Structure 1
Amino acid sequence: MYTKESIAELADQVRSFLASRDERFRVPPYLGSGGQETGHAIQLLGGILKYQQEGEWPSDWGDGVIAPISAEREPAFEIRIPRHTSPKRNLFTIAHELGHLFVHMDYGLESYAETIAEGDFRDTMMARSARNATEYEANHFAACLLMPETEFRRVWGERAGDRDAVAEHFGVSIAAATTRGQFLELISWI
């Protein structure tokens, strides 16, 4: 069972892992700004990112889906997102799907082959569509990965609570930055 703190630590580990492999991921946006850069981040983690056309998108997949692929070779997993949503929305969705991968599927950072061989990598497809504890945990992971608390608080103060400026700094939507601010009690829920 994960706590909010342990999920935040796991997100920090993933962000540090990516930064150690490619200097582009040392500053926001931590998964790149979309496209090839974000695809490269997913490759560094052992997976593949696929964009799908609107007609290819089943309604029960929500905003995104992650699924294991192979125990023997890369890519070990794939993240699929719709092409018809905005890049900033996609960035949060990708981070959310990574939350499922690391928190709920017990995927390991150092070696996906070891993780799969040990039987810890859950053979499950997860889609961002429901509202339950699993989805809230994946959202928390995404928020921590893209908007680390200490940095978020610093930027929030430097930008005098300007949600647009804070969102721009982290490369996320205004809605994502606002929700992060609410959970960190920087913004009222009312």
Structure 2
Amino acid sequence: MDALDTTERVVQYCVRHGLIDGVELDIERLIERNQYLTLKKKPLPDGIDAYIKETKPNHFEIGVNAKHSRTRQRFSMAHEFAHYQLHRENLNGLAEGERILHRSDERNHLEYQANDFAASMLMPEELFRSEVIRMNGDVTELAKRFGVSPLALRYRAKSLGMKGHGV
């Protein structure tokens, strides 16, 4: 599990362990399979999507706002999982609790990295591009297929340089 430091490795791991159903990656089960991570869904204060914090040495808790939609929770889980995989050594420097995937010039490099990792993991490029073609760029249907919000889907399309109405 420690070697899941690239989205390609995460996706390959998920395929090998049956954590991808069609095109939707089961981020919740991926987190639960890691003995060093605990996932908690609970109501969080307004303006907070999720957090990750170290609860004891090398053990971390990912908290996700239970008041949010399933798709928002999935992206939040993926974002915090990305922080765990990429920024584990620097987690104490992150704010406890954050808003995820919101347009802001104040976002730092670690947040952009976590958003990109989350989007790439939930919507792998090759699969994403083929599904966009197969579904004629229908944002609503594509978002359902990947289990993400239309905002997350558009974020991924933009990051891949895709242009057009919707996607």
Q: 1:189, CA displacement in angstroms?
A: 9.1
1:31-110 map, 5 Å: 31=26, 38=28, 40-46=29-35, 47-53=37-43, 57-58=44-45, 62-71=48-57, 76-105=59-88
What's the CA shift string for 1:3-32, capped at 9, x where partnerless?
xxxxxx702212322333x31336432125
Cα 1:82–1:152 shift into 2, 3 Å: same
CA contact (8 A) 2:139 2:153 kept: yes
Cα 1:103–1:186 shift into 2, 3 Å: same
- Give the corresponding residue for 2:160: 184
1:151-190 map, 5 Å: 151-188=127-164
**Structure 2 spans left out of the alignment, 5+ residues:** 100-105
Cα 1:165–1:123 shift into 2, 3 Å: closer
What's the CA shift string for 1:67-99, capped at 9, x where partnerless?
122337xxx211101111100000001001111
CA contact (8 A) 1:182 1:188 kept: no
TM-score (norm 2): 0.79
- Who wins on radius of gyration, i.e. which is larger? 1
Determine which structure has the larger strand proportion and give its number. Answer: 2
TM-score (norm 1): 0.71
Give the partner amino acid of 1:82. N
1:101-120 map, 5 Å: 101-105=84-88
- Give the corresponding residue for 2:98: 128
The whole-number CA distance in structure 2 between the counterparts of 1:85 and 1:159 is 27
- The number of residues matched between the two structures is 154
What's the CA shift string for 1:134-177, capped at 9, x where partnerless?
11110000001000111111100111111111111111111111
Determine which structure has the larger helix proportion and give its number. Answer: 1
CA contact (8 A) 1:128 1:135 kept: no
The whole-number CA distance in structure 2 between the counterparts of 1:162 and 1:104 is 34
CA contact (8 A) 1:163 1:177 kept: yes
The whole-number CA distance in structure 1 between the counterparts of 2:31 and 2:23 is 16
The whole-number CA distance in structure 1 between the counterparts of 2:127 and 2:91 is 35
Q: 1:128, CA displacement in angstroms?
A: 2.8
- Give the corresponding residue for 2:7: 11
**Structure 1 spans left out of the alignment, 5+ residues:** 1-8, 33-37, 106-120
